[in-house]
Amino acid sequence: MATTGYPGNLNAKTREFISSPRKILLNGHWVDAASGKTFDTLDPATGKVIISVAEGDREDIDRAVKAARAAFEDSPWSRMQPGQREKVMHRLADLMEENADVLAELESIDNGKNVAIARAVDIQLAIDTIRYMAGWPTKIMGSILPLSVPYAPDAKFFGYTLKEPVGVVGQIIPWNFPALMAAWKLGPALATGCTVILKPAEETPLSALYLGELICQAGIPDGVVNIVPGYGHTAGAALSAHPDVDKIAFTGSGEVGKIIVKAAADTMKKVSMELGGKSPAIILPDADLDIAIPGAASAIFFNQGQTCCAGSRLFVPDSLYDQVVDGLAAATATMKIGVGLNPENMINPLVSQIQFDRVMGYIDSGRREGAEVVAGGGRSGNEGYFVEPTLLCNTNREMKVVREEIFGPVLCVQRYSDVSDIASFANDTVYGLGASIWTRDVGNIINIIPKIKAGTVWVNCHNILDVVMPFGGYKQSGFGRELGKESLDLYLETKSVCIMA
Ligand code: NAP
Ligand code: MG
């Protein structure tokens, strides 16, 4: 029985949802894969099967694209009065709020993460995203153009722009914040009147599928949102290459991002990419260490380091080095490691055996290259994919652990002596997603921020996200911005209209 082993206080709706195989959401109906195939989604705390899920592939993607195309051209969604679309989106946000505990439990079971944090951060931000985006349909507008056509000086023209939905959108999301990534993608697509085929990560399909139930209940017309769980190299690849998809939005690894950009190029789809990072956290000599030390710990260990903007490279001045390293080691010693359904456990399992092996491989590589393992460095327990919070100290720019995204609870600490070098140290990476600066000096803030090549710079905090704040990357961290007003641009076309009076 799938639910065996879960505590008795698990929400009845969660229990029910994981008590029978889950299906594909196609044109408003839950259906099996055309091939009849299924795959299992596992609980990372135990490695055991939670439930099986329909395994969508090329044919299912093709059906979903047809449904989304028909819904875009024929259903009321894109032509619905903006105020009406706003109401429906608010209804979805209300349903998410009512079911927030269920979504948080599904997230915890499927991804491994802390259930209380999932409720307060992942699910709350997902609800906020849909609510914020619900406010946009009534505010999306073009502009009046003051034309003065030089070769028709005597004619009168009236020019304006219309903002129109891009059309059918494929959205491919990762496993680290499954419900939140679904909301970041669906929110602006729905607000602009697009229709969607969403492919959740194979490791964590459950919360997106539950969201699918709520989307149906909210009254979003059939075919507007189709959810096709399945593997990336099959379902994901079919979606990115499909000739009738107008745009692909992707969050995940750079390697897969490059494959998708190439696949999308053949039909010149619009593409937006939110990829990885190797974000610097910079402690300046005047920092308040009572804030900076716990802040730097949370910058990397939040979500077991499986955060694209995790502060994975910490820069510490010589003068503070020992104090900061001791403080971080003490902080890791207090972090309880265990299953995410117990909210006291602050370090939870990594998402999969593959990620576990990857992260352990990086820790070994750091050791071999001469990093000093000051805390952690090993597995915790003997079932599930738990890795201890790990501090690799005296690291340098040549090391693989400093150059590559580890995506686990592993912090690389580097020392520096001259503040004037710090921006170039921080930028010494192919990525440019986030960065944080820890200082009490406004002069430092003003001088350093313009030199940092990153989509978000935090001061005296890290990993703070808000629906109004655009999020995305410089360099190989991607292109396009999610959240905020800018996210709408990814889903809108501009049509210029010129009328001769
Ligand atoms: P990934 O392979 O990039 O997966 C992200 C999404 O892309 C998943 O839905 C995946 O499907 C899909 N996908 C995989 N291959 C595809 C293809 N050929 N065409 C279309 N879609 C495809 O990420 P991962 O393997 O899960 O993680 C590997 C590394 O990526 C991590 O260690 C981390 O460094 C990075 N990562 C970054 C983020 C981020 O937020 N920036 C998130 C997750 C991972 P399936 O997985 O379902 O097959
Ligand atoms: Mg799972």
Domain co-membership, 27 together with 76: yes
- Ligand 1 pocket member 458 (CB < 6 A): no
Our count of domains for the chain comes to 2
CATH code, domain with 138:
3.40.605.10
Q: What is the helix, strand, coil percentage profile of the chain, to 5?
A: 40, 20, 40
**Residue of minimum CA distance from atom 8 in ligand 1:** 201
406 in a structural domain:
yes
Whether residue 25 contacts residue 227, with contact meaning beta carbons closer than 8 Å, is answered with yes
Q: Which of 308, 309, 393, 412 is catalytic?
A: 308
The pairing of strands 225-227 and 195-199 is parallel
**Residue of minimum CA distance from atom 42 in ligand 1:** 252
Domain co-membership, 259 together with 387: no
Share of the chain above pLDDT 90, in %: 97
Whether residue 446 contacts residue 467, with contact meaning beta carbons closer than 8 Å, is answered with no
Domain co-membership, 258 together with 316: no
415 in a structural domain:
yes
- Ligand 1 pocket member 172 (CB < 6 A): yes
**Does residue 2 carry a pLDDT above 70?**
no
Mean of pLDDT values over 438-452: 97
Domain co-membership, 493 together with 406: no
pLDDT tens readout for residues 269-278: 999 999 999 9
Mean of pLDDT values over 328-353: 98
Domain co-membership, 177 together with 192: yes
- Ligand 1 pocket member 212 (CB < 6 A): no
- Ligand 1 pocket member 269 (CB < 6 A): no
6 in a structural domain:
no
Distance between CA atoms of residues 391 and 409, nearest Å:
9
482 tagged catalytic: no
Per-chain mean pLDDT for the chain: 97
Domain co-membership, 76 together with 104: yes
138 in a structural domain:
yes
pLDDT tens readout for residues 149-199: 999 999 999 999 999 999 999 999 999 999 999 999 999 999 999 999 999
Q: In ligand 1, which atom is closest to the CA atom of 351? A: 26
**Does residue 217 carry a pLDDT above 70?**
yes
383 in a structural domain:
yes
Domain co-membership, 307 together with 445: yes
* Amino acid found at 254: G
Domain co-membership, 369 together with 451: yes
Domain co-membership, 367 together with 242: no
Range of the domain at 359: 280-468
331 in a structural domain:
yes
pTM of the model: 0.97
Domain co-membership, 110 together with 56: yes
Q: Hey, which of 39, 250, 253, 355 would you mutate to test ligand 1's pocket, going by the most ligand atoms within 8 Å of its Cβ?
A: 253
Domain co-membership, 301 together with 373: yes
Closest ligand by atom to 362 CA = 1
* Amino acid found at 496: S
**Residue of minimum CA distance from atom 11 in ligand 1:** 232
pLDDT tens readout for residues 111-148: 999 999 999 999 999 999 999 999 999 999 999 999 99
CATH code, domain with 346:
3.40.309.10
State the Cα torsion 223-229-231-236 to the nearest 10°.
Answer: 20
3-state secondary structure of 410: strand
**Does residue 487 carry a pLDDT above 80?**
yes
User: Phi-psi region for residue 377, left (φ > 0), alpha (ψ -120 to 50) or beta?
Assistant: left
The pLDDT of residue 342 is: 97
- Ligand 1 pocket member 39 (CB < 6 A): no
| pLDDT band of 4, cuts 50, 70, 90 | low
3 in a structural domain:
no
| pLDDT band of 1, cuts 50, 70, 90 | very low
pLDDT tens readout for residues 55-114: 999 999 999 999 999 999 998 898 899 999 999 999 999 999 999 999 999 999 999 999
Mean of pLDDT values over 336-360: 98
Domain co-membership, 92 together with 65: yes
Distance between CA atoms of residues 277 and 308, nearest Å:
5
Question: Scanning the structure block, which residue is given the tokens 């390697």?
Answer: 255
7 in a structural domain:
no
Count CA within 13 A, CB hemisphere, residue 271. 23
405 tagged catalytic: no
Distance between CA atoms of residues 252 and 128, nearest Å:
22
